[in-house]
C-alpha cells in the first residue's frame, strides 16, 4: 500500500506526488497553490484561487451590508440637513401675490380719500390701479432671489448632489448583496 497519490498539476500539468496527510500545497514546477480534496475514495485538486474567490465574495457582501447601513444613515442626515436649511432660509416667492393685493387694496383705500369726484370714477380708477399692480407687479415688491440662489441655493444643490451620489452608491451595494 502506497503512502502517496500521483496527480497532475491543474496549471502546468506537472507530476505531483501527494501524501495522505497533505491538505494544501504548492506545485514544485509552477508554484500554483492547490487544496487536496478527498471525497468518496476520490482524490482531486482544487486551485486555491477558487477558494479565495469564494472568501472574497463573502467579504464583499459583508462589506456591502455594512456600507448599506452607513449610507442609509448618511442619506437620512443629508436630507434632514437640507430640510433644516430650507426651513431656516426658504426660497423667496418669485410672485408675492398677497403683497400685490395688499398694495392694490391700499391704493384703493387711499383713492377714496384723495379723489373728490363721483364714486364710479373712484372705483374705475382704483380698478385700473389694481389691474396694473396685479398684472405687472410692483418691482420693489418682487423679492430678489439671486442672493438666495448664490448662497442657500448652492447649498441646497450641494445637498441634492451628495444625496444622489450616495443613493447611487447605495444601489450598487444593494446589488452586490443581492448576488
Q: Which residues of 163-177 are buried (b: 16+ CB within 10 A; e: fewer)?
A: beebeebbeebeebe
For residue 94, give the DSSP letter. Answer: S
Cα angle for residues 105, 108, 113 (degrees, 5° grid): 135
Q: What is the pTM of this model?
A: 0.49
pLDDT at 23: 81
Strand partners, 38: 43
pLDDT at 176: 87
pLDDT string in tens for the chain (179-residue length): 457 788 888 777 888 888 887 888 788 887 787 778 887 777 777 766 656 566 666 788 888 999 999 999 999 999 999 999 999 988 876 555 555 565 666 566 556 555 555 666 666 666 666 666 665 555 555 566 777 888 888 999 999 999 999 999 999 999 988 87
The residues, any chain, with a CB within 8 Å of residue 26's CB and separated by 6 or more, are 32, 33, 34
3-state percent breakdown (helix, strand, coil) of the chain, nearest 5: 65, 15, 20
Contact 6, 17 (CB under 8 A): yes
pLDDT at 117: 59
Domains and CATH numbers, the chain: 4-52 (2.20.28), 57-178 (no CATH)
Amino acid at each position: 500500500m502506497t503512502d502517496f497519490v500521483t496527480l497532475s498539476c491543474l496549471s502546468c500539468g506537472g507530476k505531483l506526488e501527494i501524501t495522505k496527510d497533505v491538505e494544501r500545497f504548492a506545485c514544485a514546477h509552477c508554484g500554483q497553490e492547490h487544496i487536496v480534496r478527498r471525497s468518496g475514495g476520490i482524490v482531486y485538486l482544487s486551485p486555491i484561487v477558487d477558494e479565495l474567490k469564494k472568501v472574497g465574495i463573502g467579504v464583499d457582501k459583508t462589506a456591502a451590508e455594512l456600507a448599506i447601513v452607513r449610507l442609509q444613515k448618511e442619506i437620512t442626515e443629508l436630507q434632514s440637513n437640507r430640510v433644516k436649511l430650507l426651513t431656516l432660509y426658504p426660497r423667496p416667492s418669485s410672485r408675492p401675490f398677497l403683497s400685490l393685493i395688499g398694495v392694490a387694496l391700499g391704493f384703493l383705500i387711499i383713492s377714496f380719500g384723495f379723489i373728490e369726484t363721483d364714486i364710479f370714477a373712484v372705483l374705475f380708477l382704483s380698478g385700473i390701479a389694481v389691474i396694473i399692480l396685479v398684472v405687472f407687479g410692483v418691482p420693489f415688491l418682487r423679492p430678489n432671489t439671486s442672493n438666495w440662489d448664490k448662497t442657500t441655493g448652492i447649498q441646497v444643490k450641494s445637498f441634492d448632489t451628495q444625496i444622489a451620489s450616495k443613493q447611487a452608491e447605495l444601489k450598487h451595494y444593494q446589488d452586490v448583496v443581492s448576488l
